[in-house]
Amino acid sequence: MDPCGANEGLKADEDPVRVVPDELPRARRPWWLPHFLGRMPRGLEDRHVAVVGIVSLAFLFENYDLSMLSAALKQIRESYGQSPAEMTSLLAWIRLGAIPAFLLLPLADRVGRRRVFLVAIAGMSIGTFVSGLAQTPLQFVVAQTLTRGFLVAATATAVVLVAEALPAAHRGWGIGILGAIGTVGFGLSALLYAFVDRLPFGWRFLYLVGIVPILLFGRFRSGVAETEHFRTRQAVRAAESAWSRITGPMRELVRDHPMRSLAVAAMAASVSAATAPAFNLMSDYVQSNRGWEPSSYSLMAIVAGGLGTIGNPAMGFAADRLGRRPVAMVAFGGFPFVAWAMYFGPGEWVPFVWVPFIFLLTGGNVLMRVVTSELFPTSSRNTAMGWETLHETLGAAVGFTAVGILVDETGDVALAAVAVSTVALFGAVIVWLLPETAGRELEASVHGDG
């Protein structure tokens, strides 16, 4: 029995991964895509690349916000008089902010991907700016919680925009570039954090920079078009009532694909529980336990993290050629071992291990989202991303809570973070049970419950 439909829709002699003929032309390389990220794939048009470019900005600012909270955690914690264990609990609450995205994302299956994407961009920018003005831990948590919902909605919808815009043979490349450009957000945060002790307003200045997406809002409006998949489906749905437009996608998701929904939930929760604490606690750990200066952490994040960005398109390319499942298994299954090397290896290891750490973290998260986007029909695709986001959020909150409990019991942040990171191995098992979708047209990957 194949409960998640791992083989459904595939004939015995059918290879799900398609090869693009060498004679197909390549799109022009855009100015924002550095050459070290590899050649442009054959068979892409300029319009495909333009979509990837504009929505990659959403990933950039999500990663900026995520890495900023991680980098400046020690300064934020100390400014509010919080202990490491207390701050871990606050991080759990902040992660729960993605739950509102679960309510927002299904709307994209009825009112359009573009509208939800633009609302989310505006919300995350304003929320990040307001976070820098927070005067109490409660105000900071509330601002970051609301911001998190918009951040997740923006990036989840960005994945759907790319998945629906690109040819089947190059979706992996597209999501790899999303991850690579998104990782620039880590570098930008690290660069500014290096001067945190000299910046006006200290760590708060890092959050005030979050207003930039609002300043670029006109570019987002003109650069993001509604997908053809949605427009075609919307014509069929034109006669629906307002209530059906809101509740229909979730009913369809749970009713038509219960096993896939359950598997995606388990994958998202386990991977997020494992990766979120290990990443977010690293800056505080190396400064508090290994005596690093903020500038040392920033240098590592910029240089080693920059090298890690190369892995994202490489992972996407591999996912197009080898399949989503084996590449995701490597990312999820390898993370606990890299986390162990980060926290327990010799101090001189840390900058070098940071490269695969960021590579597996960002590439694995993007792959998890693209697998979800390819498993469900157009009518429920953004809803499925909301479903994945909900359980990713719950998983992260549980992970932070578990680390906090272990820190209280053992007093060892490293032991707690690494122990919880092993939960990612469960995600590696789950992803193997899901259908392989590499190289298949979106609707061709959806058959029955699966």
Q: pLDDT by residue (tens digit) across 61-86?
A: 877 887 788 788 888 888 888 887 77
Q: pLDDT by residue (tens digit) across 374-407?
A: 888 777 777 887 788 888 888 988 998 899 899 8
Are the C-beta atoms of residues 55 and 120 closer than 8 Å to each other? no
Distances (CA, A) of 384 to 105, 168, 260: 8, 19, 10
Q: pLDDT by residue (tens digit) across 139-161?
A: 998 888 888 888 888 887 888 88
| Cα dihedral value 28, 182, 441, 14, nearest 10 | 100
Q: For residue 336, what are its two tokens? A: 């606990």
Cβ contacts of 65 within 8 Å, gap of 6 or more:
124, 128, 147, 151, 185, 210
Cα 160 from chain centroid (whole Å): 12
Are the C-beta atoms of residues 445 and 18 closer than 8 Å to each other? no
Q: Which of 322, 359, 379 is nearest to 176 (CA)?
A: 359
Distances (CA, A) of 93 to 90, 156, 375, 385: 5, 20, 30, 21
pLDDT computed for residue 235 by the predictor = 55
Cα 434 from chain centroid (whole Å): 19
Q: For residue 344, what are its two tokens? A: 């327990």
Are the C-beta atoms of residues 398 and 93 closer than 8 Å to each other? no
DSSP-derived 3-state class of residue 133: coil
Minimum mean pLDDT range among 11-15, 264-268, 278-282: 11-15
pLDDT computed for residue 24 by the predictor = 59
Neighbours of 225 (CB within 10 A): 15
Task: Flag whether pLDDT at 429 surpasses 70.
Answer: yes
pLDDT computed for residue 270 by the predictor = 94
Q: For residue 66, what are its two tokens? A: 């995520």
Distance CA 66, CA 366 (A): 14
Average pLDDT over residues 170-186: 78
Question: What is the rounded average pLDDT for all residues in the chain?
Answer: 79
Distance CA 57, CA 79 (A): 30
Distance CA 21, CA 128 (A): 45
Instruction: Please report where in the chains the tokens 């009532």 appear, as a residue.
Output: 241
Cβ contacts of 213 within 8 Å, gap of 6 or more:
57, 61, 121, 122, 124, 125, 220
CATH architecture designation of domain 46-222+249-445: Up-down Bundle (1.20)
Bridge partners, 26 (sequence order): 42
Distance CA 210, CA 132 (A): 9
Q: For residue 418, what are its two tokens? A: 């690494």
Are the C-beta atoms of residues 383 and 109 closer than 8 Å to each other? yes
Average pLDDT over residues 191-212: 88
Percentage of the chain surpassing pLDDT 70?
Answer: 85
- Count how many Cα atoms sit within 13 Å of the Cα of residue 122 in the half-sphere of its side chain: 8
Q: Which of 190, 115, 121, 183 is nearest to 151 (CA)?
A: 121
pLDDT computed for residue 7 by the predictor = 42
Please, what is the Cα angle at 98 between 285 and 318, to 5 degrees? Answer: 75
Task: Flag whether pLDDT at 9 surpasses 50.
Answer: no
Are the C-beta atoms of residues 363 and 315 closer than 8 Å to each other? yes
- Global pTM value: 0.69
Backbone angles phi, psi at 30, to 5 degrees: -75, 165
Q: pLDDT by residue (tens digit) across 353-366?
A: 888 888 888 778 87
Are the C-beta atoms of residues 62 and 155 closer than 8 Å to each other? yes
